[in-house]
Amino acid sequence: MDKSEKEKMITGELFNVYDPELVAERGAARQQVEALNELGEQDPEKSQQLVKRLFGATGDQVEVHATFRCDYGYNIYVGENFFANYDCTILDVAPIRIGKHCLLGPKVQIYSVNHPAEPELRRNGAMGIGKPVTLGDDVWVGGGAIICPGVTLGDNVIVAAGAVVTKSFGSNVVLGGNPARVIKPLK
């Protein structure tokens, strides 16, 4: 039996981003995201309920400030005490797993989607490929930082503002720069 484009997307195979099922799911997610962004900080309890319906899984305490953007929502899994500041984007083509007690500064971008290197497959923008992203517990991602597809970060990692994380790192480090590198270990 042939895999659906959604199955290909989630398992990290080349998939058609304009598949009707995926287009409909992105549209449904955008409606939820627009409701969340419109609500802003007027009703924190309702905002939290919207996030819990949008994301694949959350802890009890989750806070996401407007404006927030994502592709599907259901591929985002966050642990207890998650906070995303203003203007964060999480492109969740593949699963994005974020541990407990994690903080995203303003304008943080986490991408689990990429496009093929072959130009003929990119020309019309129809082909994508997903690579999961995992952030451990107690990770703090500073404002404007970018986490690229396929990255895994261990526990107690601080990503400096503006860093571009293109590869995986273990626990207890401060990362910074473009591409990000270890600035110093943490105890």
Active-site residue list:
115
Nearest to 106 by CA among 122, 89, 120: 89
* The pair of three-digit structure tokens given for residue 14, joined into one six-digit string: 């080349």
